[in-house]
Amino acid sequence: MIKVHHLQYKAGQRNLVDNLSFEANKGEMLAILGANGAGKSTLMKLLCREILPSSGNILFNGLNLNTYKLADLAKTRAVLSQSNTLSISFIVEELIMMGRYPHFGQNPVVKDLQVVKSVMEETGITHLAKRDYNTLSGGEQQRVQLARVMAQVYDSDHACLFLDEPTNGLDLLYQQHIMVLARSLADRGYCVICILHDINFASRFADKILMLKNGKRVAYGRPLEVINCENIHETFSIHVKLMPCEEYKCPLVIPAVGFA
């Protein structure tokens, strides 16, 4: 679904993304890991076409990303940003309907109303439909925003969802809710690309992991292939211990005492 070839992005003389190649497929979740300043957010902006690469290319469903009209792209990819604060009050169902804007003219049709209803049910927020968004907790707001981006690509067979640190600032319960929902979307056939800070979340929920340092690829592959002490030390400059866990496809990562 998404293929990245020798991608590079420069800011002045500095390479923020440096010769990256990888792919993310339909029905998979790709987790992007890296320390602060590793180039994760810059890469996400490139994949979402917020900025253009200095060199290299990104193929989306077989076509160069730059060849898409924005109106067409809006129907097949959606982005959940880190910050989703609103200065104007909106009712929850109104906010979710915004995700359907690329699909209708002046007024939503029956299908749009059905999609909004469906995504509220799937994210467990039907009871919040008439609530003011700004009165919700952080975890509730994040689920509303996830429902909005789901509504945007709900009826696309080749859709991609970009989630930029979706668990940031949430308590453990809401972190689990968001990650379970993201995993279920991949299982339904979406391509889900997610920036995470929690290595254990990445290894538990993702099909593939891309580890970055200084804009370069440290490792890329299945969790069992890339989650090891050497790659984690190279990526985060910290020593860790790995604890086997039969329930998951990868050992648990526990930071060791002291730093590199």
HEC string of 217-255 equals EEEEECHHHHCCHHHHHHHHCCCEEEECCCCCCCCEEEE
pTM of whole model > 0.75? yes
Measured from the Cβ of residue 83, the count of other Cβ atoms closer than 10 Å reads: 8
**62 domain-assigned:** no
**15 domain-assigned:** no
Domain count for the chain:
1
CB 233, CB 32: distance < 8 Å: no
Provide the CATH number for the domain around residue 247.
3.40.50.300
**5 domain-assigned:** no
Q: Classify 6 in phi/psi space as left (phi over 0), alpha (psi -120 to 50) or beta.
A: left
**7 domain-assigned:** no
Please tell me which residue, 209 or 139, carries the higher pLDDT value.
209
Give the C-alpha separation, 163 to 35, whole Å. Answer: 17
C-alpha torsion sign, points 167, 173, 179, 182? negative
Helix, strand, or coil (residue 15): strand
**260 domain-assigned:** no
Domain that holds residue 126: 25-49+69-255
Read off the pLDDT of residues 197-238 as tens digits, 9 standing for 90 and up: 999 999 999 999 999 999 999 999 999 999 999 999 999 999
pLDDT for 248 equals 76
Residue 247 has pLDDT above 90, yes or no: no
Give the C-alpha separation, 39 to 139, whole Å. Answer: 26
Query: Strand 29-34 relative to strand 208-213: parallel, antiparallel, unpaired?
Result: parallel
pLDDT for 177 equals 87
Residue 258 has pLDDT above 70, yes or no: no
**56 domain-assigned:** no
CB 38, CB 213: distance < 8 Å: yes
Residue 65 binned pLDDT confidence (cut-offs 50, 70, 90): very high
Read off the pLDDT of residues 40-51 as tens digits, 9 standing for 90 and up: 999 999 999 999
**228 domain-assigned:** yes
Both tokens assigned to 152: 């945007």
CB 63, CB 17: distance < 8 Å: no
**55 domain-assigned:** no
Residues whose CB is less than 8 angstroms from the CB of residue 123 and which lie 6 or more positions away in sequence, other chains included = 143, 144, 146, 147, 150, 181
Residue 118 has pLDDT above 70, yes or no: yes
pLDDT for 82 equals 77
